[in-house]
Amino acid sequence: MTAPLDGTVADTDHNDHIFTVLVADDEPDVRELVSYRLSRSGYTVIEAKDGEEAIRLATEHCPDCAVIDVMMPKIDGYEVTRALRSDERTRLMPILLLTARAQESDIQTGFDAGADDYLKKPFNPDELVARVRAILSRR
């Protein structure tokens, strides 16, 4: 098991299984930033470039958590969330939505779709890790 390089304690479950996080965003810069920060914090990261790939990778690999951008082409983050919630393999997976849309109605839509948490863009990388850690600890 590799210790996180940012000085924190690796986030694992009781059996020392290292958590895997799916990161889905059509913007490469955001994917790189999120993946880098999560990797440095000791998580294994799987990346998806769009909603279709996110659903496919989620059902194939069953990650422990997903960080999903809302505004993606073809299938947006809300649709991805609904799809994961309706699949037996992924319906309990914690989902954090990442988005620039932060009106009350958008937040409500995200939670109605089944998301567990919501983070506005531009995002604070440390806050992102803290939220991922928090929703994984509630599993």
Binding site for other proteins (CB under 8 A): 5-6, 27, 29-30, 32-33, 36-37, 40, 121-127
Torsion angle defined by CA atoms of residues 72, 74, 76 and 78, in that order, rounded to the nearest 10 degrees: -170
Q: Which is nearer to other proteins, 6 or 112 (CB)?
A: 6
Question: Cβ of residue 59: shortest distance to other proteins, in angstroms?
Answer: 28
**CB nearer to other proteins: pick between 114 and 125:** 125
Minimum CB separation of residue 139 from other proteins in Å reads 26
Nearer to other proteins, 13 or 32 (CB): 32
Contact 76, 54 (CB under 8 A): no
CA atoms within 13 A on the CB side of 135: 22
Sign of CA dihedral 62, 44, 30, 49: negative
User: What is the nearest approach in angstroms of other proteins to the Cβ of residue 42?
Assistant: 14
Question: Measured from the CB of residue 99, what is the shortest distance to other proteins in angstroms?
Answer: 12
Quick one: 3 or 5, whose CB is closer to other proteins?
A: 5
Cα distance between residue 108 and residue 123, in whole Å: 19
Question: How many angstroms separate the CA atoms of 121 and 119, rounded?
Answer: 7
